[in-house]
Amino acid sequence: MTDKVALITGAARGQGRAHAERLSADGADVILIDIAGPLPPSVPYDSATPEDLAETAELVAANGRRALTAIVDTRDHDGMCAAVASGVAELGRLDVIVANAGICVPSTWDRVSARDFQDTIDINLVGTWNTVMAGARHIIDGGRGGSIILIGSAAGLTMEPFMIAYTASKHAITGLARSFAAELGKHRIRVNSLHPGSVVTPMGSERMVAAMADAAESNPVLRPGFVKQLIPDSIAMPEDIAAAVAWLASDEARYVTGAAIPVDVGVTGT
C-alpha cells in the first residue's frame, strides 16, 4: 500500500479507525470521513465526535502517513463528492475505498417506525452508494485500477432477528458490491463486500445490548444468529476486520472481485 491513497468512511472510531490505522501502517495516506455528530435518535449508542475523528488522524500520523479529515454525512451526495475531490486534489490520487459508515437499530418488526427504517436504509445503503459514486471516478482517472470494499454484515448473508432494516440494508450491500464489480471490472477496479459478525466497537454499548435483549423477549425462540460461532470463546476485534480489509485492498487479492467474504467466526456457516 506504499504511497497509495484510501478513502474511509465512518473513520472516527471502531472499525473505521482500525482500517485507517492498518492501511496507514501498510503505507497508505488516507481520506477520513465521518458524520462526527448526532445520529438518528433511534440509534442506541453514542455518536462519534470531531475529537474522535481528530484522534484517528493522529494515529495515522504516528504511522508516518498523511490523513485528511472531513466531517460529512454520507447521506449528503454533494458533500461527499466535494470532500473526496478535495482530498484527492491534495493527496494526488485515490486507490482504495472502504465504505464503512453504518448504523444499527435493534427492534421488533412492529416497533420500527417509518423514520427509523428510512434512516437505516439511507445511511447504510444510500450512504454506501454515495461513497462509491464520490470516489470511483477518481480511481478510474488514475488509470491504475484499485479496490473498493463495502462493509456489510453477517446479517447481510443470513438473517439477524429483530433487525429488519439493518438486515435489509446489509443484504443490499451484497448486491451493490456485485453490481459495481461487474461494471467497474473493465477499469481493473475490484469490488467486494466484507461481512463481520459481532465486533467489539462502540456500537456494542450497554444500551445497544439492552435494546437487543428487550426485542428478543418478544420471541425467545429466535436466538440471535451472531452467537452461533464455530470457534468458541472468540471475540472479534476491529483489527481482525481491518486485516481482511488490508488484504482486499492489496495486490495479494488482485483476482478477488464480486465476492461476499464473511469474517464472522463462522456464524453464517451454521
Rounded mean pLDDT of 188-199? 95
CB 202 within 8 A of CB 45: yes
pLDDT tens-place string over residues 30-49 = 999 999 999 999 898 899 99
CB 150 within 8 A of CB 191: yes
- CA proximity to 3, closest of 98, 144, 186: 144
| DSSP assignments along 146-208, one per residue | EEEEEE--GGGTS--TT-HHHHHHHHHHHHHHHHHHHHHGGGTEEEEEEEE-SB-SGGG-HHH
- Provide Rg for the chain, Cα atoms: 18
Bridge partners (DSSP) of residue 227 are none
Choice between 158 and 57, residue whose per-residue pLDDT is larger? 57
Residues belonging to the active site: 166
Q: Which three cell numbers stand for residue 2?
A: 506504499
pLDDT of residue 225: 55
- CA proximity to 30, closest of 1, 50, 73: 1
Phi–psi pair at 224, nearest 5 degrees = -55, 130
pLDDT of residue 270: 67
Domain boundaries, the chain: 5-263
pLDDT of residue 154: 93
What whole-number percentage of the chain has pLDDT above 70? 95
- CA proximity to 190, closest of 249, 103, 108: 249
Confidence of residue 216 (pLDDT cuts 50, 70, 90): confident
Judged by DSSP in three states, 260 sits in: strand
194-203 exposure pattern, b = at least 16 Cβ within 10 A, e = fewer: bbbbbbebeb
Rounded mean pLDDT of 105-113? 90
| DSSP assignments along 69-93, one per residue | EEE--TT-HHHHHHHHHHHHHHH--
Q: Which CATH number fits domain 5-263: 3.30.70.260, 3.30.70.2500, 3.40.50.2000, 3.40.50.720?
A: 3.40.50.720
Between vectors from CA 194 to CA 190 and to CA 200, what angle results, nearest 5°?
Answer: 145
Q: How many residues does the chain have?
A: 270
pLDDT of residue 232: 79
Q: Mean of the per-residue pLDDT values for the chain?
A: 93
pLDDT tens-place string over residues 232-245 = 777 889 999 999 99
Q: Is 122 exposed, middle or buried (0-12, 13-18, 19+ CB in 10 A)?
A: middle
Q: How far from 103 is each of 41, 157, 186, CA to CA, in Å? A: 11, 17, 32
What totals of helices (H) and strands (E) does the chain contain, helices first? 8, 7
- Supply the pTM of this predicted model: 0.94
Q: Is pLDDT of 196 > 60?
A: yes
Confidence of residue 226 (pLDDT cuts 50, 70, 90): low
Q: Is pLDDT of 214 > 90?
A: no
